Amino acid sequence: MADPVDLRRGVRGAGGTRIRFRRPSDDATLLRRLYQEAVDQDMPPDHPLLTGETSAALDAGAQGGPSMIRQRLTGRTLFEMYLDYSAVIVAESGQSVIGAIFLAPPLQLLDDLPSPTAARVVTAVIKLTAVAVSSSHRSLGIGSSLVKQARAAYQPCNTALMYGDFDGENQSLGRFYTGRGFELFDHDDVVDLSPIVGTPFYIREGEGTDRLFARRISPAYSFPIRRSGFLPGF
Ligand SMILES: CC(C)(COP(=O)(O)OP(=O)(O)OC[C@H]1O[C@@H](n2cnc3c(N)ncnc32)[C@H](O)[C@@H]1OP(=O)(O)O)[C@@H](O)C(=O)NCCC(=O)NCCS
């Protein structure tokens, strides 16, 4: 396994950028604009990914691996764990942020789960909610650097898989994700979380032309991540 990355200090990315965790001093308006560009949805200014103390589990993972994370998470509420596992990683060029990737456990899936199971999902499944690079800096490899460092940051945390969805009509985005090691899912495919939850439990795509993509993060997680052949409304 590669050495843990220190995204508090930052590492070198493509196009002369520095890839690092968001800092409180980063321009939140700019981050919200990047988010909006990726998912076509506003991010409220008080969103916990912008205002909360994120990434503590990733820091612990980088410093001491899963045992340090276990210590860190003892006694934490589900929402605190959600923040600990969330991250906004930015690409900085000079003094300016020119790209960002937003990652968070899938809070919306947890509602119906008992809390020990929900805690397992928070620590094992991460959603790549959005990735965007400012239009004047695209095709320089910066988006790829953001995805690569996100994966490297979650690997020491024993995160089983990373997934997301995108507008399937944008075929170049499909190529972007497959080129970064993700599998693209057909419309009747679901992400299978059953081994993590302990009972049959699946993620399926959202509305219309949305398509799921997913990949394993921990090499130790050996279960299939895709199940095929689910009809809409299963
Ligand atoms: C998708 C995006 C983040 C890629 O960032 P980037 O820095 O341009 O990507 P890279 O330079 O690392 O390019 C990686 C690959 O994506 C392809 N690519 C480049 N620009 C692209 C674009 N506008 N759309 C899709 N794919 C693109 C490249 O051809 C490259 O392919 P290769 O690995 O075969 O050479 C960027 O195009 C973007 O911000 N798009 C708008 C926001 C968005 O749609 N985000 C995704 C939805 S969450």
Does the model's pTM come out above 0.85?
yes
- Nearest CA owner, ligand 1 atom 7: 143
> How many angstroms separate the CA atoms of 120 and 229, rounded?
26
- Nearest CA owner, ligand 1 atom 31: 176
> How many angstroms separate the CA atoms of 112 and 178, rounded?
32
> In this structure, what CATH number is given to the domain that contains residue 94?
3.40.630
Indicate whether 232 belongs to any domain. no
CA–centroid distance, residue 51 to ligand 1 (Å): 27
Query: Domain containing 38: what range?
Result: 11-159
Q: What would the pLDDT profile of 164-189 be if each residue is shown by its tens digit?
A: 999 988 989 999 999 999 999 998 89
Domain count, the chain: 1
Indicate whether 4 belongs to any domain. no
Using a 6 Å cutoff on CB, does residue 166 contact ligand 1?
A: yes
Q: Write the CB contacts of 97 (distance below 8 Å, at least 6 apart in sequence).
A: 26, 27, 30, 31, 34, 90, 91
Q: What would the pLDDT profile of 106-152 be if each residue is shown by its tens digit?
A: 998 988 899 999 999 999 999 999 999 999 999 999 999 999 999 99
Indicate whether 190 belongs to any domain. no
Using a 6 Å cutoff on CB, does residue 37 contact ligand 1?
A: yes
Using a 6 Å cutoff on CB, does residue 130 contact ligand 1?
A: yes
Cα distances from 183 to residues 21, 24, 48, 226, in angstroms, run 26, 34, 29, 9
- Torsional class of 24: left (φ above 0), alpha (ψ -120 to 50), beta (otherwise): alpha
Asked if residue 41 lies in contact with residue 48, where contact means CB atoms within 8 angstroms, the answer is: no
Indicate whether 206 belongs to any domain. no
Please identify, by atom number, the ligand 1 atom nearest to the C-alpha of residue 142.
Answer: 7
